[in-house]
Amino acid sequence: MTLEEALSESLELKGGNFITSAFRKWSLDWSKYAVIKLNEKFLDNENILFAIDISMTNKHFDNTSGFFVITNIRVLFYYTDGTIERLDVLPLNAIQTLELGGSDIWSHLHIVGLTDTFHIQDKPVVISRIRDILDDLVYSSKASPINENSSNETDTIQALKSYKELLDAGVITQEEFEKKKAQLLGI
């Protein structure tokens, strides 16, 4: 699905449409520009599963609006602080937990990863949809045994190498590396 199709679908979920939403805090000019720039960030083998303009908090900013996208490979959040455009990325295999909270009026979801935590908030129907998609992607991929086939084994080895590089670069701690290693190896 294209980014534009995913955004239109999520706006319908919120009870609006792509044109009338005006992406809450942005002008239509910024929104069009952001869609063009974000489309340039996707990888060749990446499929967009869900996209929405949403309010989020992370290690860089408290409560900023931007585009939140779920693909078959990673979660992305594209936003600006007024001067600098930012793209925060959390690979699906780096997601540790999903923590849901809120009320019948407004809900939030903490997406806790090895190196970052995304805190998103919106209508309960939107947050539930995001959680359901991530549950399917994150937990179904972790449920398969390592030695089920050579592809899974290769993926596990590649993931371990990636986490080792993060450890060596000082991005994650030894404890975080060991936790992820145990999770990937199923021990």
Q: Are residues 91 and 168 in the same domain?
A: no
pLDDT at 173: 85
Write down the pLDDT at residue 59: 59
Domain carrying residue 76: 3-142
Whether the predicted pLDDT of 133 surpasses 90: yes
Read off the pLDDT of each residue in 16-38 and give the average, rounded to a whole number.
56
Task: Classify residue 63 as left (phi > 0), alpha (psi -120 to 50) or beta.
Answer: left
Instruction: Looking at the structure, tell me whether residues 54 and 102 fall in a common domain.
Output: yes
Q: Which one of 29-33, 57-61, 98-102, 159-163 scores highest in mean pLDDT?
A: 98-102
Instruction: Answer yes or no: do 153 and 103 share one domain.
Output: no
Q: Are residues 150 and 93 in the same domain?
A: no
- In terms of domains, do 74 and 128 share one? yes
**Is the same domain home to 80 and 150?**
no
| Statement to judge: residues 28 and 102 lie in one domain | yes
Number of compact structural domains in the chain: 2
Joined tokens for residue 133: 């998609």
Say what the pLDDT of residue 60 is: 56
Q: Dump the DSSP string for 72-125.
A: SSEEEEEEE-SS-EEEEEEEGGGEEEEEEEE-SS-EEEEEEESS-EEEEEE-HH
* pTM for this prediction: 0.66
